[in-house]
Chain A
Amino acid sequence: MATIARLRARLGSRTLELELLITAFLFIAICLAALIASASGRVRWVDLTIISAFAGLFLTISLALALRDWGEDQMVLPIAALLAGIGMIMARRLEPDLVQRYGEVYSGIALKQVIWIFGGAVLLALVSFVPWRLQWLKHYRYTWLLLGLALVGATAVFGVERNGARLWLNLGFFQLQPVEMLKVLLVIYLATYLDDHRELIGRGVYWLGPLKLPPLPYLAPIVIMWGATIGLIIVQKDLGAALLFFVIFLAMLYVVSGRARYAAVGLFAFALGAAALYPLFGHVRVRLNAWLDPWSDPFGIGFQMVRALHALATGGWVGTGIGAGDPTTVPESHTDFVFVAIGEELGLAGTLALTVCYALFALNGYLIAIRARDGFQQLLAAGLTTAIAAQAFIIMAGTTHLIPLTGITLPFISYGGSSTLINFAMVGLLLRISASRKPPRTL
């Protein structure tokens, strides 16, 4: 009897997550129904199976978390599930149009995305339920560093080139995008490094003529990170990842030091570096010109941007309705430009809702960071949250012409295996950090 009462109490303490998950499933089910109605009207078994499995998987995770009763955060999982569900619907919606417009390469992306999401959910469960200690992340810091460097090196040597950028590693069954992996490794390494050196604030100030320089433990990584990201732009032509990594680094540096000056100087240095690359590298120039005036060359550099602006404007404030727009007129509508595709079909209502979702996710993530039990976990949570929030902001702002466009995926929503898997793993880490009642041996 006592056991049943305890179980009931545990389930009762986790109702918010359950309610939010059910709301998300309802929304996704309505989207799917609208999509089926506008496409053919025929309900296929595979759709029903997938959406039931999707709901079942996340509900199981939620119930398991409730029964274990570690007291994890209740917001991040439903938001991730909602966003992944929207991504699943968008892949399902875009696949036929992509196949019709761009060829057979795109057939099967909807099913693949479902597999990635399910894989991601399983990965999240593994991170959450397999007994391991968060301190391992700290202990094996150099392993992570070497793994990251090895990934970069392997990509540079064995990488597969696509769209002029060498960003993929072919693993036979799966093309890995090491940048996604690198993102997590960077956050973990920075969290350990900065946590080790946080006592040095205010000590060992250097003077370079009239310039006051930060202490060496800060100065050195700033310079190294700056060099690495600029190198990334030059070697891999990956502006988006470079910007994201640098933003993550500056954010974590700020969290540990509280010096806005470092962040400002860092951003300024990044802008300076990009400006120096401007005349030298065509891809930097193209991106910047396309941002400054996409209409100057609407068939060349401005093509994607012009198409994206038209798509967003066509959507208006309520959108054309899912399945009723023509989002594939924008190239890469299923990956980098999926936000624009949603903007066309769900309108301002949909894009604002997504913005609010990411903002809520971010605020909740920082709340987890503030409440975390030690400096390392605080930094780790802040870094992971910044990675997802900043990535979402960079691509959403890029596709809406707020900042120069740099190609990265929209977390949880964009089609892509590496990014979906890694993002769910990050959510798993956040959940683990947020667990307020975890037993001491798992710390």
Chain B
Amino acid sequence: MRSVIRFISLSAAAALLIYGLLQPIDQESRWVAALWLALPLLYVAARLSLPSVPPGLARNTQHLALAIAIGFVGLALQLLRQQFVYADAIANAVFVDPHTGQTTSNVRRVIAALKVRRGSILDRNGTVIVTTDIVDGDYAVRRYPLAETYDPTAFGNIVGFFSARFGQSGIEATYNDYLSGERDSWRRLQDALLNRPRVGDTVRLTIDARLQAAAHAALGERTGSIVALDPRTGAVLAMVSRPGFDPRGLAFNPAAPDRQAENRRIDEYWRAINAEGAGQPLLNRPTQGRYAPGSTFKTVTAVATLLHPEQGRPDAIDCPDQRPTEPGAPPVVNAVRTGLEGIIRSTPFPAEPNLERVYAFSCNTAFAEYALRLGPDLLAETARRFDIYRPQDAPNVYDGFTDLPTLPSLLYVSPGFLNRRAALADTGFGQGELQITPLQMAMVAATIANDGMMMRPFLVMEIIRPDGTTVMRNGPRPIRRVMPVDIAGRMRTALRAGVAYGFGKAADAVPGVEVGGKSGTAEYPCPTPDNPEKVCAHAWFIAIAPVDQPRFAVAVMIENGGEGSRLGAQVAGQVLRSAFDMVK
């Protein structure tokens, strides 16, 4: 009888304890209840195992001792749960107050984060963009020494912000493991054992701080993007996103005289840059902004006709003022409403229209015709070579560039869109449903500049340990050959024509250097109360220079910037001039 009761109590206690231990940390009351139910059962089981003692003070004392011992067993079980089974979960848990939204987390992590000596971020020449200073004994604060020379807002989208409360963005986020020193588990173990502060790795970027600042200035106060690549390697030389944010605004200084005021300052800046109408400064437009590319996309259509001359017949083309596509749809028209063919036939000298001339003068009706000749499959196939995806093939993030969050570029959005002739024609000259990132257009230009070989863009040149040794170094890596060398050569000639005598003359701003380029004006409806039919335009420009042996490929995209041949070309020209000034 005793053994049966003992067995039952032990099993029930074990079942209760297992049930309790399986409860997650937010159900701790269940665990405590299960534990308190199990302890009397344990007491019963243990008491039945005791040798029998005659009644009296001794026996009563024995029972009391057993009760106290069972209490300590309960304490040990509680400690086992708090310090072993769910230790990591409790230490890392962040509790959010459902009413106020205020969060509670382990204060040690916040303090530890304030003490990590994050590595610096340098530009390609070693100019320090971000570094860590030690203040107030052992607290680390993120400093931006470059702010003395340049506007730090120009670098916000690339290096990102670092905040104990709001997290990180940009390179601070992508390379957090390296910058915080977390990646190197052996060194972390040494630091932990010797109680040394953790020191992170230094990240050296491919951008040139001077070009980045110049490009940022060239865009003025306009919203938009600039990407400058070295076409030979894929290195990103500049990547501007406007409006930007100042990472200093979110950098907490633990040595501030009034920490609450410091937190308030950061709160206010965070609210300001996330406010409605602030223009989303935290969005990195060059990689996360997708737009209709306008006529710059004619570059892709032109490559498609050259790759498939039998279907595309690149040099048997005309440029009528209107080209009907399918019944019921409005015909394709040119930006210059009438007489564009006349200009094409006469400039720079009288000749029949060919690919180079319709490209240089951005003739919509000609490129609509090319697209119709090629058909949806050949056009999509060429676009895919440039990593411009059909929606069903598109990955969630573009894996050709992983240093910053990047969206894939899309040839169209609605399923089966290109099967309609009008849609196919529109896509051919850069309207339709195209959704392309400025980075992708820069890559299109860079591929042509690099003899048809598309290089993988990269932003991080190398990562260096605190002791000076290299963790990792990036170099040129090809994605694929998009077109043969001769076709790339023809495309460079066509790009040069656009600047030499076509609609991109404004980009010819570098003395002694032949610039090639293509403008784009991407129209989109922007109805206002007065004018529901109003149409606005994004200004685009892609450029390469020097045309015979390109060293720079640039894409400029200005939201609501009007005609690409004016503002876009001007800005691209300025960026190229700064780039060449820099090399000299």
- The answer to the question of A312 belonging to the interface, with a C-beta cut-off of 8 Å to chain B, is yes
Asked whether A258 and B59 contact (CB < 8 A) given A313-B106, A315-B83, A329-B108, the answer is yes
- Please determine whether A401 and B82 come into contact, CB atoms closer than 8 angstroms: yes
- Please determine whether A359 and B60 come into contact, CB atoms closer than 8 angstroms: no
Return the contact of A348 from the options B29, B35, B64, B79 (Cβ within 8 A).
Answer: B79
Give, as a whole number of angstroms, the nearest-CB distance from B90 to chain A: 4
Asked whether A366 and B65 contact (CB < 8 A) given A313-B82, A397-B74, A397-B75, the answer is yes
- The answer to the question of A375 belonging to the interface, with a C-beta cut-off of 8 Å to chain B, is yes
- Contact residues in A for B107 (Cβ distance below 8 Å): 307, 310, 326, 329
Residues of chain B from 541 to 555 with CB closer than 8 A to chain A in the complex:
none
- Please determine whether A313 and B90 come into contact, CB atoms closer than 8 angstroms: yes
Q: Bound complex: CA of A362 vs CA of B66, how far in Å?
A: 10
- Please determine whether B76 and A370 come into contact, CB atoms closer than 8 angstroms: no
Chain B, residues 76-105, CB within 8 Å of chain A (1/0): the string is: 101110111011111100010100001010
- The answer to the question of A38 belonging to the interface, with a C-beta cut-off of 8 Å to chain B, is yes
- Please determine whether A313 and B69 come into contact, CB atoms closer than 8 angstroms: no
Chain A, residues 245-286, CB within 8 Å of chain B (1/0): the string is: 000000100111110100000000000000000000000000
Asked whether A355 and B79 contact (CB < 8 A) given A310-B108, A316-B87, A369-B61, the answer is yes
- Please determine whether A313 and B61 come into contact, CB atoms closer than 8 angstroms: no
- The answer to the question of A382 belonging to the interface, with a C-beta cut-off of 8 Å to chain B, is yes
Give, as a whole number of angstroms, the nearest-CB distance from A48 to chain B: 22
Chain B, residues 105-116, CB within 8 Å of chain A (1/0): the string is: 011100100000
Residues of chain B from 278 to 334 with CB closer than 8 A to chain A in the complex:
none
Asked whether A317 and B29 contact (CB < 8 A) given A306-B104, A310-B108, A358-B72, the answer is no
Return the contact of B68 from the options A311, A315, A317, A362 (Cβ within 8 A).
Answer: A362
Output the nearest chain A residue to B57 by Cβ-Cβ distance.
Answer: A378
Asked whether A378 and B95 contact (CB < 8 A) given A298-B104, A359-B69, the answer is no
- Please determine whether A317 and B83 come into contact, CB atoms closer than 8 angstroms: yes
- Please determine whether B104 and A378 come into contact, CB atoms closer than 8 angstroms: no
Asked whether A351 and B83 contact (CB < 8 A) given A255-B57, A256-B57, A310-B90, the answer is yes
Return the contact of B75 from the options A309, A317, A396 (Cβ within 8 A).
Answer: A396
- Contact residues in A for B60 (Cβ distance below 8 Å): 254-258
The dominant DSSP class at the A interface is helix
- The answer to the question of B461 belonging to the interface, with a C-beta cut-off of 8 Å to chain A, is no
- Contact residues in A for B62 (Cβ distance below 8 Å): 366, 370
- Contact residues in B for A393 (Cβ distance below 8 Å): 68, 71-72, 75
- The answer to the question of A314 belonging to the interface, with a C-beta cut-off of 8 Å to chain B, is yes
Chain B, residues 28-63, CB within 8 Å of chain A (1/0): the string is: 110010010000000000000000000111111111
- Please determine whether A299 and B104 come into contact, CB atoms closer than 8 angstroms: yes
- Contact residues in B for A321 (Cβ distance below 8 Å): 195
- The answer to the question of A402 belonging to the interface, with a C-beta cut-off of 8 Å to chain B, is yes
- Contact residues in B for A396 (Cβ distance below 8 Å): 75
- Please determine whether B84 and A389 come into contact, CB atoms closer than 8 angstroms: no
Return the contact of B79 from the options A323, A329, A369, A400 (Cβ within 8 A).
Answer: A400
- Contact residues in B for A370 (Cβ distance below 8 Å): 57-58, 61-62
- Contact residues in B for A375 (Cβ distance below 8 Å): 57
- The answer to the question of A352 belonging to the interface, with a C-beta cut-off of 8 Å to chain B, is yes
- The answer to the question of A324 belonging to the interface, with a C-beta cut-off of 8 Å to chain B, is yes
Q: Bound complex: CA of A178 vs CA of B446, how far in Å?
A: 84
Chain A, residues 314-356, CB within 8 Å of chain B (1/0): the string is: 1111000101111001000000000000010001100110011
Give, as a whole number of angstroms, the nearest-CB distance from B26 to chain A: 8
- The answer to the question of A193 belonging to the interface, with a C-beta cut-off of 8 Å to chain B, is no
Asked whether A352 and B106 contact (CB < 8 A) given A370-B62, A386-B64, the answer is no
Return the contact of B80 from the options A293, A326, A348 (Cβ within 8 A).
Answer: A348
- Please determine whether A363 and B104 come into contact, CB atoms closer than 8 angstroms: no
**How many B residues touch A, CB cutoff 8 Å?**
44
- Please determine whether B65 and A402 come into contact, CB atoms closer than 8 angstroms: no
- Contact residues in A for B80 (Cβ distance below 8 Å): 348
Q: Bound complex: CA of A37 vs CA of B55, how far in Å?
A: 55
- Contact residues in B for A363 (Cβ distance below 8 Å): 65, 69
Give, as a whole number of angstroms, the nearest-CB distance from B66 to chain A: 9
- Contact residues in B for A401 (Cβ distance below 8 Å): 28, 32, 78, 82
- The answer to the question of A110 belonging to the interface, with a C-beta cut-off of 8 Å to chain B, is no
Give, as a whole number of angstroms, the nearest-CB distance from A12 to chain B: 30
Q: Which of A256, A306, A321, A325 has most B Cβ within 10 Å?
A: A306
Asked whether A312 and B82 contact (CB < 8 A) given A293-B29, A352-B76, A362-B65, the answer is yes
Q: Bound complex: CA of A321 vs CA of B192, how far in Å?
A: 10
Give, as a whole number of angstroms, the nearest-CB distance from B483 to chain A: 58
- Please determine whether A348 and B69 come into contact, CB atoms closer than 8 angstroms: no
- The answer to the question of A390 belonging to the interface, with a C-beta cut-off of 8 Å to chain B, is yes
- Please determine whether A312 and B83 come into contact, CB atoms closer than 8 angstroms: yes
Give, as a whole number of angstroms, the nearest-CB distance from B135 to chain A: 16
Q: Bound complex: CA of A251 vs CA of B72, how far in Å?
A: 16
- Please determine whether A310 and B91 come into contact, CB atoms closer than 8 angstroms: yes
Give, as a whole number of angstroms, the nearest-CB distance from A397 to chain B: 6
Output the nearest chain B residue to A381 by Cβ-Cβ distance.
Answer: B61
- The answer to the question of A144 belonging to the interface, with a C-beta cut-off of 8 Å to chain B, is no
Output the nearest chain A residue to B97 by Cβ-Cβ distance.
Answer: A298
Q: Which of A292, A324, A347, A351 has most B Cβ within 10 Å?
A: A351
Give, as a whole number of angstroms, the nearest-CB distance from B59 to chain A: 7
- Contact residues in A for B28 (Cβ distance below 8 Å): 401
- The answer to the question of A70 belonging to the interface, with a C-beta cut-off of 8 Å to chain B, is no
- Please determine whether B57 and A379 come into contact, CB atoms closer than 8 angstroms: yes
Residues of chain B from 10 to 34 with CB closer than 8 A to chain A in the complex:
26, 28-29, 32
- The answer to the question of A295 belonging to the interface, with a C-beta cut-off of 8 Å to chain B, is yes
- Please determine whether B104 and A295 come into contact, CB atoms closer than 8 angstroms: yes
Output the nearest chain B residue to A316 by Cβ-Cβ distance.
Answer: B87
- Please determine whether B69 and A251 come into contact, CB atoms closer than 8 angstroms: no
- Contact residues in B for A369 (Cβ distance below 8 Å): 57, 61
Q: Bound complex: CA of A406 vs CA of B69, how far in Å?
A: 21
- Please determine whether A313 and B104 come into contact, CB atoms closer than 8 angstroms: no
- Please determine whether B90 and A309 come into contact, CB atoms closer than 8 angstroms: yes
Q: Bound complex: CA of A256 vs CA of B69, how far in Å?
A: 19
Asked whether A402 and B75 contact (CB < 8 A) given A38-B195, A258-B55, A382-B61, the answer is yes
Q: Bound complex: CA of A363 vs CA of B64, how far in Å?
A: 10
Give, as a whole number of angstroms, the nearest-CB distance from B549 to chain A: 59
Return the contact of B88 from the options A254, A293, A313, A402 (Cβ within 8 A).
Answer: A313
- Please determine whether B72 and A366 come into contact, CB atoms closer than 8 angstroms: no
Q: Bound complex: CA of A125 vs CA of B72, how far in Å?
A: 30
- Contact residues in A for B111 (Cβ distance below 8 Å): 326, 329
Residues of chain A from 363 to 417 with CB closer than 8 A to chain B in the complex:
363, 366-367, 369-370, 375, 378-379, 382, 386, 389-390, 393, 396-397, 400-402
- Contact residues in A for B83 (Cβ distance below 8 Å): 312-313, 315-317, 343, 347-348, 351
- Please determine whether A389 and B68 come into contact, CB atoms closer than 8 angstroms: yes
- Please determine whether B61 and A255 come into contact, CB atoms closer than 8 angstroms: yes
Residues of chain A from 236 to 251 with CB closer than 8 A to chain B in the complex:
251
- Please determine whether B95 and A298 come into contact, CB atoms closer than 8 angstroms: yes
Residues of chain A from 27 to 56 with CB closer than 8 A to chain B in the complex:
38
Give, as a whole number of angstroms, the nearest-CB distance from B449 to chain A: 55
Q: List chain B positions with a Cβ less than 8 A from chain A.
A: 26, 28-29, 32, 35, 55-65, 68-69, 71-72, 74-76, 78-80, 82-84, 86-91, 95, 97, 102, 104, 106-108, 111, 195
Q: List chain A positions with a Cβ less than 8 A from chain B.
A: 38, 251, 254-258, 260, 292-293, 295, 298-299, 306-307, 309-317, 321, 323-326, 329, 343, 347-348, 351-352, 355-356, 358-359, 362-363, 366-367, 369-370, 375, 378-379, 382, 386, 389-390, 393, 396-397, 400-402
A selection of 24 A-B contacts at a CB cut-off of 8 Å is A258-B63, A299-B104, A314-B91, A315-B87, A316-B91, A317-B84, A325-B108, A326-B111, A329-B107, A348-B83, A351-B83, A355-B72, A355-B79, A359-B68, A366-B64, A366-B65, A366-B68, A389-B68, A397-B74, A400-B75, A400-B78, A400-B82, A401-B32, A401-B82
8 extra A-B contacts, CB within 8 A, seeds A310-B90, A362-B68: A251-B64, A258-B55, A292-B29, A298-B97, A317-B87, A329-B107, A359-B69, A370-B57
Which 9 A-B pairs rank lowest in CB-CB distance, beginning with the nearest?
Answer: A313-B90, A366-B65, A298-B104, A348-B83, A313-B91, A310-B106, A359-B72, A313-B87, A402-B78
